[in-house]
Amino acid sequence: MLLRVNNVQKSYNGQPVLRDVTFTIQAGESVGLIGTSGSGKSTLSRCILGLETLDSGTLHLGGSSWQNASRKETSSMKRRVQAVFQDSSDSFNPRWRLADSILEPLRHFRMIEPSEEPTKLAHLCEIVQLPYTCMSSYPRALSGGQKQRAAIARSLSINPQLVVLDEATTALDTLTQHHIVEMLQSYRHDQSMAFLFISHDLSIVSRLCDRILVLSEGTIVDAFRTDELFDEARHPYTIALRDAFVEKGRSLNGLG
């Protein structure tokens, strides 16, 4: 088991945000987490990344717990899990050229020699379909799609076991979304990497994920394999989202 989330609870100012959240992710598995704004999706992602402390419950990554980890174990866990957020601008130091931002995790964990850096950068650019010429640019010179590809390259650079993608394609146009999802899907299969893909867009989640979890008011209210969406979805929110997804598909195909 790569990730085990068990009875996790989290509150802010006495207001519950996560309530007894429990699920697992296997190595190499892609799991979608969908829910409305305010359902607790981003709080859950921050807990998984070790950026928030839990009120109660347990969270284990590869058998290690964030709550009880030593400094050495915490460093190891940070190498195993990486993140891509909705606003990729926050991922980069505006004073650094893109090459330095992408290489920073490799340098931090001492996973690369200076002589290896150009080859590694070229390889990462090829994976995310980003022109190598962008490596000498500052973040402000890039488009939103280019910055998001660079953020993905940064997260993949240290070969993590799990990547948390929190609304990572929401701000992108449809064509760029399609290209990035196809790239992530291909890379995941090649590297046996696990994804937790957090979104409110069922069309994206259904293409990238093996299973779907539905979060509502801080609680997992539905869980099913993606290919069982039309048979196993039971919660009213899931059904409404599914029906909207079907209607959107009909409209795109000229049937609506």
Q: Report pLDDT for 239.
A: 84
Q: Report pLDDT for 80.
A: 93
Q: Cα–Cα distance between 121 and 111 in angstroms, integer?
A: 13
Q: Report pLDDT for 255.
A: 43
Q: Cα–Cα distance between 68 and 35 in angstroms, integer?
A: 30
List CB contacts of 223: < 8 A, sequence separation 6 or more: 23, 211, 212, 213, 214
Per-residue pLDDT of the chain (256 residues; tens, 9 = 90+): 899 999 999 999 999 999 999 999 999 999 999 988 889 999 999 999 989 999 999 999 988 888 788 888 888 888 999 999 887 777 799 999 999 999 999 999 999 999 999 999 999 999 888 999 999 999 999 988 899 899 999 999 999 999 999 988 877 788 888 888 888 888 888 888 999 999 888 888 888 899 999 999 999 999 999 988 877 778 888 888 788 777 765 554 554 4
Count CA within 13 A, CB hemisphere, residue 131: 8
Q: Report pLDDT for 98.
A: 95
Q: Report pLDDT for 204.
A: 84
Q: Report pLDDT for 253.
A: 54
Q: Report pLDDT for 250.
A: 52
CB distance 168 to 84 below 8 Å: yes
CATH level 2 (architecture), domain 3-92+160-252? 3-Layer(aba) Sandwich (3.40)
Q: Report pLDDT for 73.
A: 84
